[in-house]
Structure 1
Amino acid sequence: MATLQVRRVRPDHPDPLPLPRYETAQAAGMDLRADIDGERTLRPLERLAVPTGLAIALPPGYEGQVRPRSGLALKHGITLLNSPGTIDADYRGEVHAVLVNLSQEPFTLRRGDRVAQLVVAPVTVAEIQEVAVLDATPRGEGGFGSTGR
């Protein structure tokens, strides 16, 4: 098990938000909440970097993946750009969720709304080896739907 250190960016806020936690025993991600005051309305196709009020320290060899919440996507057309967003183990700034409204309706965001989920995952560091020719595979250079529907 990896230890995730969490620092509240605005520790003196009069309405502190709960820290991220796994909602079920088998959950892969922890909810991140909007650390905003009042409300903010996202118009159709508008995007916004929503602060979470948290800075984190991941252990070496791990990354944080900021991912969309399926309920927001299905019910409201709200998803994340740059998804999944990667938090490197050496980053210490505030975590944001870059939301976009892909629906035709405005969406109102309120303080404490769950806007994204954070998945902590191990990272494999690859050694780069330059070669003149890559090994052949049946797929070859086929991409962008070349394997069928």
Structure 2
Amino acid sequence: MYDWIKKARAMIAKDGWAVLVTVTSAKGSVPRAAGTKMLVGLKTVDGTIGGGALEHMAIQQARLMGKAGKENSKDIDVPLGPKTRQCCGGHVMLHLERLDDARMKERQADPDERKPLFLFGAGHVGRAIIARMEGLPFRITW
């Protein structure tokens, strides 16, 4: 599991902000699955959403958002084709969230609004399901 919270705190301590980029939807042939996360700082990147033109564009957008400090989140709709110079042919939705000390405190103070998901069985199927659920809005009990 990608421990982005600890890494975000380190980036915020260094740069004053970090932007969490999350693949919220992945349809067709795409580089990474929904739930994949990447952190972007002023000069650093941690994690990957698949590389190539998609990741380059996401990093640029994240840094613009981080430096400007005007918006806390936005969604980007990215069809992967000739226009993006990433011809996977699929479709990706990205969610960018700007994080700073105040936003991290807000996130901790927010009540857990995720829907509960109870998973029974600890075998290979359960493990695979849990891996796929990472980053999705569920409070998992396994």
**TM-score, scaled to structure 2:** 0.28
The structure in which a higher percent of residues are helix is 2
**TM-score, scaled to structure 1:** 0.27
The structure in which a higher percent of residues are strand is 1
Which has the bigger relative contact order, CA under 8 A and spacing at least 6?
Answer: 1
Q: Which of the pair has more CA radius of gyration?
A: 1
